[in-house]
Chains A and B, each alone.
Chain A
């Protein structure tokens, strides 16, 4: 098992190197660079600018060097925690992303928990009561959640939260806490605001998740080992949890890899509507203004999360499923 984990770790390296090349290439793809759009913006605003100054900035940030050299500087910089400089914010990328990343992780984490808490019991109920009224009813509710546009749900929830609980509209905390150091009061304020984005982002995921829990569990319920357990006298619920449910979990563990980046990148629109201080809106803006190091580092972060997610799910699967752990005649 240890060898397996080490091996999986090593597989990450070529994946990440290739991704970083791809990301850099994609960001280089649109014509021009940040300074060009910056100059255009100034000209459009009727201002003049000294071309020498722009030329100086270009040299300063290495834009006159060949692509490969710039890639090398960027890529090696990331290894020591230097993600480059955001031109738009005039701050190192690390500082721009830092805070937002924490909030993003909080929102994501609670969204995943929310999704699972709702989806698993409903999915299990639907599978064990296939084609019953309960199954149809819950499926209907789930599809309703899937079909409602997230931004619409976000607006409705914001209105209701303000009407019923007096929560300030938008943001992840009350305005007075923005840019303040962490405190208990700030944390409570975050918690107070958190449930709206969690529900909004979670509903669509929940509906899809219910369908998958149901389908996977139904497949397992038909397997002969379920009958074996019943014939042994295992009580219904205990048998359900120990055998088919445990088997159907494989699919969800394998899914962690895609869940992590999906929730972060899938929530941009909602984040804009709810003006959340998360990373989604940041990425969109950075891409629009060709703030290349910010955008690039951000995409790398997503890629890194994906790779980590897949690694986690592979290791977890290895622990949970002996067929994967002992594959290819590996000795125990």
Chain B
């Protein structure tokens, strides 16, 4: 008998003036001790299904029909319980939640209360569901914290969520879900908010614990790489309906449904041939995009420079320190410093795309802000080569600074908060012209219309506000705004990380086409190696404010030299069941374990770190005393 069986489930939401069906007759089974992945994009209804199983749907949602049958293995003789028909206040539901079925959430920062200790929140479920004295509960909690990998469980018990790193927070959430030894854990995007190395560790941990306790996991995710590494069986869902279901092997070896095939083609991966394009889910838009860009390329083409041998942008020994806590009025503690960017140097050739990769906190966004002159560096140099000669970016002022601002534009990560919700798209796109005093209203209007066409949006939408656009369309508006002033250098800060896989493919293709047709130079910042691999010609890897390795795309992926780059690459989950992650290998690697890098890459045995060329154009940050052969090993 299945542990959980969902039959023909229908869930709908009350939304102003009508009901919207989010889940349309979904059915699947979860067997004891099995990992089932529920895969879909945002809005597919996968989280709604999870919430239905625990009956924690939002107030405006209701289960219209269908069954959710739960066979508790702790009670093998009992009849299955239909969770879907239980009354909302049924005491059985309180026992079920956290006791028999528990949940791991996406965002470990917000899923934990910041004002209660980790211990208090983890043991809460235990105290609620099983009779324990305070001492027993505490020792059990420390035991589970140890199991999920807390280095010092009794200290972890007393800590607050904001004192922990993202990975430890998620470990605490997992401990919370496992403490009552439930029959099933629902993991809703458990690693989406985490860095790639931490993601690999958390996935490994979940797999270990799942085997140890023989718990079933219902894994909800949009990431096919995670699915391939975790799931026994896969259910693909799209717009509230199941498209395809089967074992992981069937799904990955022989996808049948068009949606699943399209989804797989839309994800960038490392085995792409040079020039191979991602296939977005809607082909029509794609060809249209390309035609528009070709038609308008000359109008928005960036400046031509005679001397193409010199790099377009040179960054030399850039350093930025932040003061963490200022000394108080009455003296006392001295100021603490954080070195966000530590002696970073690189150059970008004209028309080239440099990918800047690193985990959160590695300083990659700070570098982009320093280049943009949004922050003042502590020391260093930034040089931009233009038709009029070399520009010392960090010493620009007045008119020259305005001119520089026109040349360098930025595309932001979050298309929701980077557009002013109180301005129409028309005004958003007009603003750059107004600020720089370019053109009269008529020519501005013509430019705005052309910009919209260029990024594949209908100019009729100009009078709309950002909220009436989808995430992908908003990002197109952001791109149009960046292109308005015919920039030469484009800084893209995680431009697709907030987007769904299918939309991501469209935006990446659009950016690629724009770049080659308009002759733009770009700095592409991302934490996603596969995305960087798709767009960038050369890749720079940052870790703890330092640039540890820089080389061409082929060199980085074929022959990573720095241990950090290697651990990053080893941690990327492939959507391929023949290339699973080596969980043992990633278990201890982390961006903060720079001591484990070995003598050649650390300063533990004295000496200084310096940039070493290990191959043509392939530089690694290593100890000056180290042997080049050691680095090549």
Residue A231, interface by CB 8 Å = yes
Contacts of A320 in B (CB 8 A): 115
Contacts of B228 in A (CB 8 A): none
Of B97-105, B426-434, B565-573, the one contacting chain A is B97-105
Contacts of B107 in A (CB 8 A): 224
**Cβ–Cβ contact B98 & A227, under 8 A:** no
> What is the bound-complex CA distance between A277 and B627, given in angstroms?
89
Of A100-108, A134-142, A323-331, the one contacting chain B is A323-331
Within 8 A of A (CB), among B106-155: 107, 110-117, 121, 124-125, 128-129
Write the nearest CB–CB distance from A274 to chain B, whole angstroms. 42
**Cβ–Cβ contact A230 & B97, under 8 A:** yes
**Cβ–Cβ contact B98 & A232, under 8 A:** yes
If A224-B107, A227-B56, A328-B325 touch, whether A232 touches B114 (CB-CB below 8 Å) is: no
Residue B499, interface by CB 8 Å = no
Write the nearest CB–CB distance from A250 to chain B, whole angstroms. 9
- B56: contacting residue among A10, A230, A326, A328, CB under 8 A: A230
A220's nearest neighbour on chain B, judged by CB, is B113
Residue A155, interface by CB 8 Å = no
- B163: contacting residue among A224, A242, A326, CB under 8 A: A326
Question: Which of A224, A225, A243, A329 has the most C-beta atoms of chain B within 10 angstroms of its own C-beta?
Answer: A225
**Cβ–Cβ contact A231 & B56, under 8 A:** yes
- B162: contacting residue among A225, A230, A323, CB under 8 A: A323
- A323: contacting residue among B114, B176, B336, CB under 8 A: B114
**Cβ–Cβ contact B328 & A233, under 8 A:** no
Residue B160, interface by CB 8 Å = yes
**Cβ–Cβ contact A233 & B96, under 8 A:** yes
- B105: contacting residue among A224, A235, A326, CB under 8 A: A224
**Cβ–Cβ contact A232 & B110, under 8 A:** no
Contacts of B160 in A (CB 8 A): 322-323, 326
**Cβ–Cβ contact B94 & A235, under 8 A:** yes
**Cβ–Cβ contact A227 & B105, under 8 A:** yes
Contacts of B94 in A (CB 8 A): 233, 235
**Cβ–Cβ contact A231 & B97, under 8 A:** yes
> What is the bound-complex CA distance between A129 and B246, given in angstroms?
43
Within 8 A of B (CB), among A302-332: 320-323, 326, 328-329
Write the nearest CB–CB distance from A145 to chain B, whole angstroms. 28
B99's nearest neighbour on chain A, judged by CB, is A233
**Cβ–Cβ contact B113 & A247, under 8 A:** yes
Within 8 A of B (CB), among A59-81: none
Contacts of A7 in B (CB 8 A): 328, 330
Within 8 A of B (CB), among A218-254: 223-225, 227-235, 242-243, 246-247
Write the nearest CB–CB distance from A321 to chain B, whole angstroms. 5
Residue B95, interface by CB 8 Å = yes
If A7-B328, A247-B115, A323-B114 touch, whether A234 touches B128 (CB-CB below 8 Å) is: yes
Number of interface residues of B (CB under 8 A): 37
B interface SS class: mixed
> What is the bound-complex CA distance between A11 and B94, given in angstroms?
49
Contact flags B20-39 to A (C-beta < 8 A → 1, else 0): 00000000000000000000
Contacts of A230 in B (CB 8 A): 54, 56, 97
**Cβ–Cβ contact B97 & A246, under 8 A:** no
**Cβ–Cβ contact B328 & A322, under 8 A:** no
> What is the bound-complex CA distance between A329 and B129, given in angstroms?
36
**Cβ–Cβ contact B163 & A231, under 8 A:** no
Residue B558, interface by CB 8 Å = no
Contacts of B102 in A (CB 8 A): 231-232
Residue B593, interface by CB 8 Å = no
If A7-B330, A328-B325 touch, whether A233 touches B115 (CB-CB below 8 Å) is: no
> What is the bound-complex CA distance between A235 and B88, given in angstroms?
12
> What is the bound-complex CA distance between A320 and B160, given in angstroms?
13
If A7-B330, A10-B330 touch, whether A233 touches B129 (CB-CB below 8 Å) is: yes
Residue B324, interface by CB 8 Å = yes
Contacts of B128 in A (CB 8 A): 232-234
**Cβ–Cβ contact A233 & B325, under 8 A:** no
A321's nearest neighbour on chain B, judged by CB, is B115
Question: Which of A233, A242, A243 has the most C-beta atoms of chain B within 10 angstroms of its own C-beta?
Answer: A233
> What is the bound-complex CA distance between A242 and B127, given in angstroms?
15
Write the nearest CB–CB distance from A160 to chain B, whole angstroms. 41
**Cβ–Cβ contact A233 & B113, under 8 A:** no
- A225: contacting residue among B96, B99, B112, CB under 8 A: B112
Write the nearest CB–CB distance from A126 to chain B, whole angstroms. 14
> What is the bound-complex CA distance between A231 and B626, given in angstroms?
53
If A246-B115, A320-B115, A329-B324 touch, whether A233 touches B97 (CB-CB below 8 Å) is: yes
Contacts of B176 in A (CB 8 A): 228, 232
B330's nearest neighbour on chain A, judged by CB, is A10
Write the nearest CB–CB distance from A129 to chain B, whole angstroms. 10
B94's nearest neighbour on chain A, judged by CB, is A233
**Cβ–Cβ contact B115 & A323, under 8 A:** yes
Contacts of B113 in A (CB 8 A): 225, 228-229, 243, 247
- Between A and B, 22 residue pairs with Cβ closer than 8 Å are A7-B330, A10-B330, A224-B107, A224-B110, A225-B110, A225-B113, A228-B105, A228-B112, A230-B56, A231-B54, A231-B102, A232-B125, A233-B93, A234-B128, A235-B94, A243-B116, A321-B115, A322-B115, A322-B160, A323-B115, A326-B160, A328-B325
Q: 4 nearest interchain CB pairs?
A: A233-B98, A232-B98, A233-B97, A231-B103
